[in-house]
Amino acid sequence: MSSFKIFDIAGSGMSAQSVRLNTVASNLANADSVSGTPQGVYHARHPVFQALVGGGNDPASAGVSVTGIAESKAAPETRYDPGNPLADAQGYVYAPSVNVVEEMTDMISASRSYQNNVEVLSTTRDLMLATLKLGQ
């Protein structure tokens, strides 16, 4: 495998973690939203990753890819709030079952993974530059 493939692999990791950060941000932004029906409530979203293992005839496929975004199947929280304009006939509103603490933990993890991939890129660049200086 070419040393330059390291850039592709780390770049695919950064791209995947960027998607993860965006979905976490969306989940946090909608954590306090409510709906008048259980069907209209926001459902948390989570990216689905797939490892791409290069080998044999196609070493260019090494890295990670996002195969899709999965929606949570968790039941919405029911809150009694008859003063809310979105409340149904019984006075209930429905909120997404988004755990803010879990989402923040996921955000920190995604951010650190992104930073680690940036560090891989930086270290690889420094090593390549040092290799080029050996001939001087």
- The pTM score is 0.85
Asked if the structure places residue 10 within a domain, the reply is: yes
Task: List C-alpha distances in Å: 60 to 14, 17, 18, 97.
Answer: 17, 20, 21, 40
Residue 118: inside a domain: yes
Examine residue 22 and state whether it is found in any structural domain, yes or no.
Answer: yes
Any domain includes 108: yes
Q: Does a structural domain hold residue 19?
A: yes
Q: Where are the alpha helices (DSSP H) in the chain?
A: 5-29, 100-133
What's the pLDDT at 55? Answer: 61
Name 79's bridge partners. 93
**Overall number of domains in the chain:** 1
Q: Which amino acid is at 34?
A: V
Tokens for 33, please give them. 């939203």
**Is there a contact between 36 and 13 (Cβ–Cβ < 8 Å)?**
no
Domain contains 92: no
> Over its length of 136 residues, how does the chain's per-residue pLDDT go in tens digits?
577 788 889 999 999 999 999 999 999 999 999 999 999 999 999 999 999 887 655 655 688 999 999 999 999 999 999 999 999 999 999 999 999 999 999 999 999 999 999 999 999 999 999 988 887 7
Residue 57 in domain = yes
Q: Is residue 84 part of a domain?
A: no
CA distance 13 to 116: 9
Show the domain range for 62: 5-32+44-75+97-131
**Per-residue pLDDT tens digits for 98-119:** 999 999 999 999 999 999 999 9
Question: Which run of H or of E encompasses 90?
Answer: none
